[in-house]
Amino acid sequence: MGNPAISLRVPLVPSGLASILRRPGKKGQVTRIVRVAEALERLYGKRRRRGRRSPPLDTLIGTLLSQNTNDQNSYRAWIELKKKYPAWEAVAVAPWQSIAAAIKVGGLKNQKARRIQEILRRIHRDWGEYSLDALRGKTNDEVMEYLLTMKGVGEKTAACVLVFSLNRDIFPVDTHIHRICNRLGLVATKTAEDTFRSMDSMVPAGKSYSFHVNLIQFGREVCRASRPLCRDCPLFDECVFVLKDAFAEIPASAGRKSNRNFLITEHLSETRN
């Protein structure tokens, strides 16, 4: 059993460190990011993009389905949705309750169903088709600006479209990567959006994809939200998490096994005809 005295309701970084990290010293932070990224590549390998990428609209909807759930459940929701409605036009005109029933395994079914239909109808109004292929000729900033005007689409979702469909060198940040980057002292931020903006200018060119994917696996296997395995952490010496020494005293539990390598954004293209 774990120590009941340990509470996670603490700052992500020690008192005083936040102000230090905000002082000028970008070069030093970039060096630390490179060191952490290379350590994760030694642990998990240098990740490379899959050969077949999903269309931007598929990635947008797939990433929306992944909000507030795990990738395996969101992928099951994706499979059921595409099985019931293979074409996006059919999704756009179907009763929203039918969409909700198809994606229920991914959670927040009603909210996601309505947002998916709103997004599809908006895209059709803007481009005359159910496709975002027109974004391929846009800059990163133009793609972000357009996608962020859609309800339910945040910077992480938009960045995933850029990385996984448009092959851009950009670093998506979700709540888990936000947590890890703060624990490691790479940033001192309060939100995932702040972390995205801070990290975007510091992740070295060519490292974004591999670093993003490796951090996700690291967060699933080691730097977990509620019970991090600090005892076995290969980045223990880099970490500034205030409770790392306390958690290092707790033996690792077996836990539930899962496919820690699975990313919904890398498997969307497998469902296409």
The residue length of the chain stands at: 273
Q: Are residues 32 and 86 in the same domain?
A: no
Token output for 258: 């899962």
251 to 4, 235, 254: CA distances (angstroms): 14, 17, 10
Show the domain range for 100.
Answer: 56-166
Q: Is residue 255 part of a domain?
A: no
Both tokens assigned to 270: 């497998």
Among residues 166, 190, 206, which one ends one of the domains?
166
> Which whole-number Å values give the CA distances from 131 to 51, 123, 150, 257, in the listed order?
21, 7, 15, 37
**What's residue 253's pLDDT?**
64
Sign of torsion, CA 228 232 235 238?
Answer: positive
d(CA 41, CA 99): 40
pLDDT in tens, 160-184: 999 999 999 999 999 999 999 999 9
74 and 129 in a single domain? The answer is yes
Q: Based on the domain organization, do 68 and 33 belong to the same domain?
A: no
Residues 161 and 66 in one domain: yes
- Both 98 and 131 in one domain: the answer is yes
Same domain, 216 and 155: no
Return the minimum-mean-pLDDT range out of 55-59, 115-119, 259-263: 259-263
Write down the pLDDT at residue 188: 95
Same domain, yes or no: 40 and 118: no
Is 15 a residue whose pLDDT tops 90? Answer: no
- How far apart are alpha carbons 48 and 247 in whole angstroms? 33
Contact between 56 and 136 under an 8 Å Cβ cutoff? The reply is yes
> Does the residue 129 lie in any domain?
yes
- Model pLDDT for residues 203-218, shown as the tens digit of each residue: 999 999 999 999 999 9
Q: What is the pLDDT of residue 9?
A: 43
Residue 266 domain flag: no
Exposed/middle/buried for residue 203 (C-beta within 10 Å: 0-12, 13-18, 19+): buried
Same domain, 184 and 239: yes
Q: What is the pTM of this model?
A: 0.86
Mean pLDDT confidence for 66-71: 91
Across residues 28-50, what is the average pLDDT? 92
pLDDT classification of 17: cutoffs 50, 70, 90: very low
Percent of the chain with pLDDT over 70: 86
Q: Indicate the SS3 state at residue 33.
A: helix
User: What is the total count of domains within the chain?
Assistant: 2
Q: Do the beta carbons of residue 195 and residue 179 sit within 8 Å?
A: no
Name 109's Cβ contacts closer than 8 Å, sequence gap at least 6: 100, 101, 103
* 113 and 136 inside one domain: yes
- For the segment 119-133, the average pLDDT, to the nearest whole number, is 98
CA distances from 183 to 27, 32, 81, 84, 238 (A): 19, 13, 37, 42, 9
Say if residue 7's pLDDT is above 60.
Answer: no
Within 13 Å and on the Cβ side, how many CA atoms surround 50?
A: 15
Q: Which pLDDT belongs to residue 10?
A: 42
CATH number for position 64: 1.10.340.30
Q: Is the dihedral of CA 178, 183, 187, 190 positive or negative?
A: positive
Are 184 and 229 within one domain?
yes
206 shares a domain with 141: no
Give the domain-ending residue among 136, 166, 196. 166
Do 118 and 198 belong to one domain? no
Q: Where are the beta strands (DSSP E) in the chain?
A: none
Q: Report if residue 6 sits inside a domain.
A: no
Element at 12 (helix H, strand E): none
What spatial distance separates the first Cα and last Cα of the chain, rounded to whole Å? Answer: 49
